[in-house]
Structure 1
Amino acid sequence: MYIPAHFAAGPDVIRDLLTRPSAANLVTMTSQGLLATFLPLIYDPSAGEHGALQGHLARTNSQWSEPAIGESLVIVQGADAYISPSWYASKAEHGRVVPTWNYSTAHVYGKLAVHEDPAWLGNHVRQLTNLNEADSERPWSVDDAPERYVSGQLRAIVGIELVITRIEAKAKLSQNRPDKDIDGVVAGLDAQGHSEIAADVARARLGS
């Protein structure tokens, strides 16, 4: 990934990208060529030196059964949005401004492991569900469904685990703009309902 120094993501940004409830693209190189699947993932910091991303695929998805060649890649995406030059104070001063796109992303590389053990799968889907139901007023639990039904559903999936070897991460959040332009970006994003990335831009200015 091309990462200018002023857009390099720090440890806090990387941790947020890995731990927030989200889905990401798993990309593997196989003898059949590149394969990719968009799937929800959960981060386990205790697995390996750099942690691991854990998810599951439908058993009928051939990506799990095609051995990965070399490292596999998970592309994690944070909030993103178009940035209008009309939001910059600099536009009124000299007009030398152009549109851009703000975003944060991490390319997470690692060795892919496959899990078919029912106990691993059961624990995984409970953790994944609990993470995504955490903010619900009436959170659903895997145990709300009949045990026999859950067992059947687990037989239809295969667990995957990317044991992380390295991470390349970028946070392009207007760090290269003057403070008065950043004020305009935050206000413009908030006005359009992009509160999450507006907060990211504000935090990036503070270096957090």
Structure 2
Amino acid sequence: MYVPKHFDEPRPEVLHTLIAENPLGILFTHGKSGLDANHIPFDLKAGEGACGVLHAHVARANPVWQDVANGDEVLVVFRAGDAYISPTWYPSKHEFHKQVPTWNYRVVHAHGRVTIRDDERYVRGLVARLTRTHEASQPHPWKMTDSASDYIDAMLKAIVGVEIEITRLVGKIKLSQNKEVRDIQGAGAALNEQGENVIGGAMLEYAAIKSAIKADDSPA
């Protein structure tokens, strides 16, 4: 991934947070059948390994788990919001007419090595964790014990675990950081007005930080 310096986000804790908040990743593999991509919800254990470990499962009918070998290099891409940016939202455009459209976004690329975990204990624990995490906001959270044990057992036999030890994290957060503060604020506010609050809010937050830094650097 091409990452200009002003869009680079190297902090592991920030990237881990983006993954945890946007757990549906795209798993890219290059196995015996060639390139493949699968959309999978992941459970991140940030404290495991050097850069964290991703845990997931796929349907047993999905050939991906047999197409790769343990230790193969894989890539998981997590998208944390995106939005089109109109040049008309930049105040400087109306003065100098030197702005063009762009697209802002936040993404994390997790490079790692895969291990297939075809065992019931692993997938049962994983499904339990995913359920607790994503049912927590429900008024009446669903639990695995809400279904008959033989039904859950059959469902677990129909999936296979996938574990990915992250070896390298690459983050790109594109929020118009290369623009003037007023332009970032203008575009961020316009996005919020359209309901694009993920990127709009992130842009306004960055603009506030940039303004504060600029104020601190100003001569007294």
TM-score of the pair, normalised by structure 2? 0.89
Query: Is the CA contact 1:21–1:131 (under 8 Å) kept in the aligned structure 2?
Result: no
| Residue aligning to 2:193 | 191
| Residue aligning to 1:84 | 86
Between the aligned partners of 1:21 and 1:170, the Cα distance in structure 2 is 15
| Residue aligning to 2:147 | 145
- 1:5-20 residue pairs with structure 2 within 5 A? 5-11=5-11, 12-20=13-21
Q: Secondary structure at the match of 1:96?
A: coil
TM-fit CA distance, 1:137? 2.2
Alignment of 1:63 with 2:64, yes or no, is yes
Deviation string, structure 1 residues 40-79 (Cα, Å, up to 9, x no partner): 1110123211111111100010100112484111011111
Between the aligned partners of 2:22 and 2:86, the Cα distance in structure 1 is 28
C-alpha spacing 1:137/1:165, structure 2 compared with 1 (3 Å): same
Stretches of structure 1 that go unaligned for 5 or more consecutive residues are: none
C-alpha spacing 1:21/1:97, structure 2 compared with 1 (3 Å): closer
Query: Is the CA contact 2:22–2:80 (under 8 Å) kept in the aligned structure 1?
Result: no
Between the aligned partners of 2:195 and 2:127, the Cα distance in structure 1 is 32
TM-fit CA distance, 1:21? 4.4
Query: Is the CA contact 2:10–2:170 (under 8 Å) kept in the aligned structure 1?
Result: no
Identity level (%): 37
Alignment of 1:124 with 2:126, yes or no, is yes
| Residue aligning to 1:99 | 101
Between the aligned partners of 2:181 and 2:80, the Cα distance in structure 1 is 23
Q: Secondary structure at the match of 2:67?
A: coil
TM-fit CA distance, 1:198? 1.4
> Residue type of the partner of 1:55?
A
Between the aligned partners of 1:93 and 1:137, the Cα distance in structure 2 is 51
Structure 2 residue corresponding to 1:170, chosen from 165, 169, 172: 172
| Residue aligning to 2:24 | 23
Q: Secondary structure at the match of 2:2?
A: coil
Deviates more, 1:91-100 or 1:10-19: 10-19
The total of aligned residue pairs comes to 207
Between the aligned partners of 1:202 and 1:183, the Cα distance in structure 2 is 6
Deviation string, structure 1 residues 89-118 (Cα, Å, up to 9, x no partner): 012111111110000111111110111221
> Residue type of the partner of 2:63?
S
Between the aligned partners of 1:147 and 1:70, the Cα distance in structure 2 is 35
> Residue type of the partner of 2:154?
G
